[in-house]
């Protein structure tokens, strides 16, 4: 009987635990991106080579700036995805959007970004950068904004037409 109760408790938690698996996997991917394999020196031949192919008449300075921009955009993209996965896991098993969930997701992403930069301080070809933590946090914040916009739009579509009008009037009255 006791084993059945214990297993029932674990079984009840498994669906929620399942929501965290993508977060853990993506965190591992981010960790891998922080290794020497994805340092400036290792991404430069690939990215700069592709840029030269796409823009053969571009000056080297321009191509190197684009390489830097692509790397910074990668920070935003990595943490945008991480932010969405965190939001999804935090709100499980509930649905919708709550400001509290978004704040927790942003905070978790910022803490992980800080730990990621700390990790890079031990990689000889890498180094920590506060600016990268800010970029990462911006990516996670943008994900929360996107979730808010998408979930809000989906919720408005579910309302009957007369409810949509009253909701819109209420939002206007509330300054939303």
Residue ranges in 92-129 assigned as alpha helix (H): 99-120
Q: Which long-range contacts (CB under 8 A, 24 or more apart) does 86-95 make?
A: 86/23, 86/140, 87/143, 87/144, 87/147, 88/19, 88/22, 89/19, 89/20, 89/22, 89/23, 92/15, 92/16, 92/19, 93/15, 93/16, 93/19
Q: Output the pLDDT for position 14.
A: 63
Query: Running along the chain, 176 residues long, what does each successive block of 10 average in pLDDT?
Result: 51 74 97 88 89 94 94 95 98 94 98 95 90 97 97 77 56 50
pLDDT at 160: 56
What pLDDT was estimated at residue 105? 98
Distance CA 20, CA 16 (A): 7
3-state class (DSSP) for residue 129: coil
pLDDT of residue 4: 46
Quote the CA–CA distance of 119 and 31 in Å, as a whole number. 8
pLDDT recorded at residue 134? 97
pLDDT at res. 164: 55
Q: Measuring CA to CA, how many Å separate 56 from each of 61, 126, 133?
A: 13, 29, 34
What confidence score (pLDDT) does residue 91 get? 95
In the prediction, which pLDDT does 12 show?
Answer: 56
Between CA 61 and CA 66 the distance in angstroms is 9
| pLDDT at residue 38, as a whole number | 83
Q: Are 82 and 139 in contact (CB under 8 A)?
A: yes
């Amino acid at each position: 009987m006791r084993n059945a109760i214990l297993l029932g408790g674990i079984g009840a938690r498994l669906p929620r635990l399942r929501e965290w698996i993508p977060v853990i996997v993506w965190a591992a991917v981010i960790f891998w991106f922080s290794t020497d394999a994805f340092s400036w020196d290792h991404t430069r031949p690939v990215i700069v080579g592709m840029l030269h192919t796409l823009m053969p008449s571009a000056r080297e300075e321009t191509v190197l700036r684009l390489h830097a921009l692509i790397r910074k955009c990668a920070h935003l993209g990595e943490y945008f995805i991480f932010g969405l996965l965190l939001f999804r896991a935090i709100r499980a098993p509930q649905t919708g959007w709550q400001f509290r969930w978004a704040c927790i997701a942003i905070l978790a992403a910022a803490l992980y970004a800080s730990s990621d930069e700390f990790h890079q301080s031990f990689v000889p070809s890498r180094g920590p950068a506060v600016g990268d933590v800010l970029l990462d946090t911006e990516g996670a914040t943008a994900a929360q904004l996107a979730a808010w916009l998408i979930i809000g739009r989906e919720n408005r579509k579910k309302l009957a037409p007369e409810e949509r009008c009253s909701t819109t009037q209420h939002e206007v009255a509330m300054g939303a």
